[in-house]
Amino acid sequence: MKKHYYITTLAILSFVAAMYDVTAGIYIAVLANVVANIITVSRQTSKTTIKRVKKKRPMTVDEFRQAEMEANPHRPYPRHDDVYK
């Protein structure tokens, strides 16, 4: 029997039970709602995926300076290539 038949059966049963006893009808309707929620939650798939990203090594000061100067050639950077070596 398919899952939605269980919910339909419980909903009809709760309507019939509510004709005779309101409390029992409410109880069965709540039970049908719980079954529907369980079916809904069980059909959901995980949306989060963990991507493993390889960490890069940190840049040295000289590499950072060189990257900045190459990225912004219009800025007047002081050239200290031969001073620190």
> What's the rounded Cα separation, in Å, for the pair 5 and 35?
11
Mean pLDDT, rounded, of the chain = 78
Which string of DSSP letters, residue by residue, matches 12-54? Answer: HHHHHHHHH-HHHHHHHHHHHHHHHHHHHHHH----------P
Instruction: Find, among 38, 40, 35, the residue nearest to 10 by Cα.
Output: 35
pLDDT band at 80 (very low <50, low <70, confident <90, very high): low
Predicted confidence (pLDDT) per residue in 26-62, tens digit: 888 888 888 888 777 777 777 777 788 888 888 888 8
